[in-house]
Amino acid sequence: MLSRRGNWISRGRDTQKDRVNGCWYCGKLGHYKAYCHMYSSRMTSAVKATKYYPDNKRRNHGWVRKHDLYCHVAYTAEERDESLEHDQWYFDSGCSRHMTGTQEHLVDFERISADRVTFGDGARGKIKGKGITGGENQPDLENVYLVDGLKANLISISQLCDTGMSVTFTKTECEGC
């Protein structure tokens, strides 16, 4: 025997028992808390609120410098040949900024309080400062970060392009104009 009550269809159950045991959340009959639309929508909005505002406080909106929006990432190999010279520089298309681990490569060095850099293996290195490269066998680069723990000297392709330079990769070489 089928009986219809609202949007719910019962197949011979004891409908008197269902009336007594309604939803514990909204108090309405015909459904339980697990199937309550009011409970479901409130839980969904609570999850969204904690996802976007974890401490349940609205954030103040303000201006942020473009420089602070960069996520500094350096993708380097886990192992490298120790016979390589420390003066060599590598073009890195995954590197967000020019970086070195050797302060001697930098002229006009200034200490800055900045975030950390995430390496390709997931390890992190602290940015100690920035400067300009100079000297013999060094490329002429500005805004080069000194990163603690960085083993290679990296030239950022994106930073070269930001200065108006055009960088072209072929099968055997990297060419900058």
Q: What is the DSSP string of 38-75?
A: HHHHHHHHHHHHHHH-TTS-PPPP----GGGG---EE-
Asked if residue 108 and residue 34 are part of one domain, the reply reads: no
| pLDDT tens column, 16-69 | 554 457 788 888 888 888 888 888 888 887 776 665 555 545 555 566 665 555
Mean pLDDT of 93-118: 86
Domain that holds residue 25: 2-52
Q: Is the pLDDT of residue 4 over 60?
A: no
- Please check whether residue 147 is in contact with residue 100, taking contact to mean a CB–CB distance below 8 angstroms: yes
Strands 106-111 and 124-133, bridge-based pairing: antiparallel
Query: What pLDDT was estimated at residue 70?
Result: 58
Asked if residue 109 and residue 84 are part of one domain, the reply reads: yes
Asked if residue 74 and residue 161 are part of one domain, the reply reads: yes
Query: What pLDDT was estimated at residue 18?
Result: 46
Residue 64 in any domain: the answer is no
| pLDDT tens column, 132-165 | 997 777 888 999 999 988 888 898 988 988 888 8
| pLDDT tens column, 81-100 | 555 556 788 888 888 899 99
Q: Domain count of the chain?
A: 2
Q: What percent of the chain shows pLDDT beyond 70?
A: 66
Average pLDDT over the chain, rounded to an integer: 75
User: 99: which residues sit within 8 A by CB, 6+ positions away?
Assistant: 74, 117, 144, 145, 146, 147, 150, 153, 154, 156
Residue where the block lists tokens 């392709």: 157
Q: Is the pLDDT of residue 128 over 80?
A: yes
Predicted TM-score (pTM) of this structure: 0.52
